[in-house]
Structure 1
Amino acid sequence: MVRAGILLVDKPGGITSHDVVSRARRALGTRKIGHAGTLDPMATGLLVLGVEGATRLLTYIVGADKTYEATIVLGIATDSDDADGVETERADATAVAAVADEAIAAGIAALTGEIEQVPSTVSAIKVGGRRAYDLARAGEEVELKARRVTVSRFDVRAVRRGDGVIALDVVVDCTSGTYIRALARDLGRALGVGGHLTMLRRTRIGAFEVAAAASVDDIAEDALIEPATAAAVVVGALAVGADEARDLRHGKRIDGGGRLTGAVAAAIDPDGRLIGIVEKRGAQLKSVMNMPEEVDR
């Protein structure tokens, strides 16, 4: 039986996030694997998987801030806001050429900080119990509500002009739920020439970096991050004694609420094992997520 842990995978383009999960299930010999934060087939980069009991940690990872590298093409719009969609608009080459670097900078500035963003119509958001992309592909009208997101960094690394378009290589730091495709769409609209995404690579989820990820061909048990190590990185560690660990496992509260500096923390026993995630309840601590007890192998 494979041990529990967090697995970082560098997803290649052309396959779905579920395809990565399927490969991991075959490689590790277990069905109990989930992932935090879907990547579109076109996108590459960091996918965080939870294996066995560590799937319980994904709740605390999926909402972390993320970093993306992307290429936005101005001058062409598509129905999916990315290169996988059908072209819906192409601006006149002279209009594109007239878009000054200063106008691009101003458009990006307007999309930086806390903004209201309408997700792409081909997103995985559910509308009336159905995925938005299923409705869109069925030819149904999809109206998604704007949501508040934060783009803390939206930097242009390169600008390439030619063939009636402007290609921008950018890096974006943002909160969970931000759609980079929508940033490309909205920037193109603001500049009056349309825009879409042609490349997207996720390089960071919270404290996890793609540089530490395995390729889909190198998934193995020795690449797993121990649950205690991963949880400590995500929410911070709190050392508990053996008696405290036992009480937390049994659903009891323990004294020491003052030891918790954040909202939650990873309770780790004297053997270095993750007991669960605890939060403050008055002057005490209570487990809000318990890990399954590890079986020595």
Structure 2
Amino acid sequence: MSGILLVDKPGGMTSHDVVARARRALGTRKIGHAGTLDPMATGLLVLGVDGATRLLTFIVGLDKTYEATIRLGVSTDSDDADGQVTATTDAAHMTSEQIRAAIAPLTGRISQVPSTVSAIKVGGRRAYDLARAGEEVELKAREVTVSRFDVLAERTSTGSVTGMTTVDLDVVVDCSSGTYIRALARDLGASLGVGGHLTALRRTRIGPFDVAGAASIDDLASALVESPADVASAVLGRLDVTADEARDLRHGKRLTGAGERIPGKTAAAVDPDGTLVGIVERRGADLKSAMNMPEEHAP
């Protein structure tokens, strides 16, 4: 059962809720995930099962793709629809050209202050716990990369009571790990002078893994668990090793002069039986194991 399980998380559940469901469905306590999704968000959650939880550290930092809806004209204290409205501004004057011009500085390598209601730890406590307790939270800006921030659709709506117009943008974002889409919504609204927040968020990709191949929350017991060898090879590249080389790696020995056999710094070492031996890394001209899989997953 050791491997990686892709799950399409529904809205209204925490990532921990999904892990708990998977533990019951698969009959094991050893399950972790690579990258939290807020309860409001839907989409791809990558779970590691049993020994493959070791691979999550190589997955969590991969680039991601999100589909989202940003509402301009309304700000909230959480930068998404789960928060309390803090300000409203009529956005009727907004043009498509203005919006696209404001998006441009939010692409590429940017400095971003995460949302106050985030899972980042401040003094050992989660920022969202501090915010909900009424404490002031100041998070430091961090460098992230937004390689794509495209508007797919644009809609306007005028409130029957307030008479104020909001603009909804359906967007797709390709970004580095650690990017907050809520913060992009907030910063876009701020740069346009009308405020903004996120009303919908769906993660569709993490590295080579796509939500199209994910199981629903109700089908976890029968879902396909991808093998550690296939997953590690997809993420890091594959190095086929002989049985003797596999034994040496498991015993902590180097593969002398084998560094040129991998194009990058690391790779997944796979034995003749198709079993993942572990992750190897270059050490000069040699290869050395950076992480071995547990012995129970070895032949």
- State TM-score, norm by structure 2: 0.96
Aligned to 1:165: 166
Question: What SS does the aligned partner of 1:150 have?
Answer: strand
Identity of aligned residues (%): 74
- Matched residues in 1 for 2:76 and 2:26: separation? 39
- Which residue in 2 is equivalent to 1:209? 210
Query: Any idea what the Cα deviations from partners look like across 1:93-127, whole Å, max 9, x if unmatched?
Result: 3xx11111111001111101110000000010001
Corresponding residue for 2:185? 184
RMSD, aligned CA: 1.1
Q: Deviations over 1:113-159 (max 9, x none)?
A: 11000000001000111100011001011000000000000000000
CA–CA distance in structure 1, aligned partners of residues 298 and 167 of structure 2:
58
SS in 1 for 2:289: strand
Which runs of structure 2 are paired with 1:118-137 in the superposition (5 Å)?
A: 118-137=113-132
Matched with 2:34 is 36
Task: Supply the distance in 2 between the matched residues of 1:203 and 1:294 (Cα, whole angstroms).
Answer: 33
Once the two structures are superposed, residues 3-36 of structure 1 have per-residue CA deviations (whole angstroms, 9 ceiling, x without a partner) of: 2000000000000000000000000000000000
Q: Cα deviations across residues 38-69 of structure 1 (Å, max 9, x unaligned)? A: 00000000000000000000000000000000
Residue 175 (structure 1) aligns with: 176
Residue of 151, 175, 178 corresponding to 1:156? 151
TM-score (normalised: structure 1): 0.97
Aligned with 1:223: secondary structure?
coil
Alpha-carbon distance in structure 2 between the residues aligned to 1:279 and 1:185: 40
Distance in structure 2 (CA, Å) of the matches to 1:260 and 1:204 = 26
CA distance in 2, matches of 1:222, 1:177: 28
- Which of the residues 77, 83, 90 maps onto 1:85? 83
2 CA distance for matches of 1:283 and 1:165? 60
Helix, strand or coil for the counterpart of 2:170?
A: strand
List alignment gaps of at least 5 residues for structure 1: none
Residue 139 of structure 1 corresponds to: 134
Aligned counterpart, 2:226: 225
Residue 221 of structure 1: CA displacement? Answer: 5.5
Match of 1:46 among 34, 44, 47: 44
Pairing 1:61–2:59 present: yes
Aligned partner of 1:21 among 19, 22, 25: 19
> Which one-letter code corresponds to 1:14 in the other structure?
G
Which stretches in structure 2 are left out of the alignment for 5+ residues?
159-164
Moved over 3 A (4+): 294-297
Distance 1:287 1:136, change over 3 A: same
SS in 2 for 1:37: coil
Task: Name 2:281's counterpart in structure 1.
Answer: 279
- Residue type of the alignment partner of 2:290: V
Question: Post-superposition shift, 1:257?
Answer: 1.0
Change over 3 Å in CA distance of 1:259–1:296 after alignment to 2: closer
Structure 1 residues 58 and 295, CA gap change in structure 2 (3 angstroms): closer
Distance (Å, rounded) in 1 between the aligned partners of 2:143 and 2:18? 30
Query: Could you tell me how far 1:251 is from its partner in structure 2?
Result: 1.1
The DSSP-based 3-state class of the residue aligned with 2:245 is: helix
For the residues of structure 2 that align with 1:87 and 1:221, how far apart are their CA atoms? 42
1:222, distance to aligned residue in structure 2 (A): 5.0
